[in-house]
Copies of this chain bind each other. A is one copy, B any other.
Amino acid sequence: MLVVMQHDASAADVEDVCRTIVEMGYEARPLPGAQRTAVGLVGNDGRVDASRIEGMAGVAQVIHVTQPYKQVSREWRPENTLVEIAPGVVFGGRDVPVIAGPCSVESEEQILDAAHAVKAAGATALRGGAFKPRSSPYSFQGMGRRGLELLDLARRKTGLAIITEALDVEGASLVAEYADCIQIGARNMQNYSLLRAVGRLRKPVMIKRGPSATITELLLSAEYVLAEGNDQVILCERGLRSFDPLTRNLFDLTAIPVVHRLSHLPIVADPSHGTGLRDKVAPMASAAVAAGADGLMIEVHPRPDRALSDGAQSLYPAQFDELMKQLHAVALAVGRQITPVGAGNVAVSIG
């Protein structure tokens, strides 16, 4: 950490800062410059609360040199973490698994139709919400436990891995009983009680980036999970809050190479929420793979015009099928491959 003093800071101000740093248990190293003095804090273990110093007399600015996270950083672990949510469905390696399915589980028929359709097109995991976080208390809130049972049924029928969202500590345990991967939604990215809970559950976790979260904050949220002993974490870019009403969100694909540089954790992209518009999903899914995404999450509904939520951004099964063909080509062009169906998925029953 570097404390930059104001142009006109007095010697006493500099001394006060140095004394406070020493009081906090670190070493202070003053660095007089041409125009102003700076004071280096040496020995930062990531726990320094800069705010205490920021407000001191004569201080112009406090600059963080050390990253605030540890276990998620590539400096901590140089090689990629591989997260295998089901046999053969691995995030973080050369393969790129595609997760697809409806926004919400709506009925047995709907989720089975969706599962069969996305499986046929080449997806290896099924998404579908049983517990839905909705801006309005009057919107459809999901089928709850019955939704989880239907996802389990769909898994038994198709062999697809299951990923679904948990909204709170209690729900996380329940979701963990049924799902192969627990999703933490964007609205809960900084729900630390929930992050700690899934950190203790020893199940793969997918954390979606909040709509105005920096990448540093996303990595810190993952750090909560790793700090509890669970390193099976997948990050997910799903679009940021935008000022332009033409799209639902502002899809930040650059987050993919940025995360790859800073962290060993895999990152997937969700072009359905990232754009909010069906006809933008295909080009942006291709773009995500070209940018290096370690997986994709795509909303597909057997009847989007009847969907209880997110109909506008859900693909028709035929569109998804078409898209998968293109994704295979794009993945090869950048030295990856879309995870093939059945690679390690041996436990498929005959539906």
Contacts and interface: CB of A to CB of B under 8 A. Distances in A.
Contact of A46 (B136, B190, B275, B279): B136
A34 to B, nearest CB: 5
Interface stretch (A107-115, A119-127, A146-154, A288-296): A288-296
B35 A66 contact: yes
A200 interface: no
Contacts of A10: none
Interface in A121-179: 133-140, 167-171
Interface in A1-40: 2, 4, 7-8, 20, 29, 31, 33-36, 38, 40
**Integer count of this chain's copies in the complex:** 4
Nearest to A271: B254
Nearest to A291: B287
B275 A284 contact: no
A102 interface: no
Interface in A199-256: 211-212, 214-217, 220, 223-224, 227, 240-247, 250-254, 256
Given A283-B256, A283-B257, A51 B311 contact: yes
A139 B224 CA distance: 11
A31 B31 contact: yes
A308 B158 CA distance: 53
B220 A135 contact: yes
Nearest to A252: B250
Interface of A: 2, 4, 7-8, 20, 29, 31, 33-36, 38, 40, 42-44, 46-47, 49-56, 61, 63, 65-66, 68-70, 75, 133-140, 167-171, 187-188, 190-194, 211-212, 214-217, 220, 223-224, 227, 240-247, 250-254, 256-258, 261-262, 274-275, 277-280, 283-284, 286-292, 304-314, 326, 329-330, 332-334
24 contacts: A8-B75, A31-B40, A35-B66, A46-B138, A47-B136, A47-B139, A52-B306, A52-B312, A55-B278, A55-B305, A63-B65, A68-B135, A167-B193, A187-B191, A212-B243, A245-B245, A246-B258, A246-B262, A251-B254, A253-B287, A256-B283, A258-B280, A289-B290, A326-B333
